[in-house]
Structure 1
């Protein structure tokens, strides 16, 4: 079996996914002194999560969105937009604004995108 360089390189450059709201809840409920397996923790916290109302779950949903935006910003995002997270009381917003590029850089990138070929 050969070692695949592309697969390793791709896995290193990918951003880690943010935890979903249930995992955020489970992280809050787990006692660090308790040495159970994660499956055992899930068996305990899953019924509690299922019985919670949407208002009670909102805190964990907002924490999940905030973590996702922080990880995307740390990874570099897409370079065309900048996202921010704003919260006013119980309501949260994700604001996405375009990044203003320098016109000379934009034109250079536009017309030299596919010109990196080699002559023999």
Structure 2
């Protein structure tokens, strides 16, 4: 159950971001206002990346761009804050991080342990997991 939760397959539907045009937020300056493109995928992106402000807003604003930048950095992509095809594929792919790998390794170790720990024939063996 913990492994499914870490992979994003736990309770609730799995959010898949559809492919589409490249989205880029451009900060405003004294001469030009900020450019925040609108796209129907942005509410799903907000939910997937944990941006709780204005969950139904379709504008790709500074907060969403920053969340995308942080995701790109964690996924070892170039942290631009631009939602492109590579970023969408990385967002939709199952997570493979250290915590998931640790759970998988511990599940494999657990598989090889005797089923009856503490049995007299084992001399009251026990397992300590740090």
TM-score by length of 1: 0.25
| Structure number with higher strand proportion | 1
| Structure number with higher helix proportion | 1
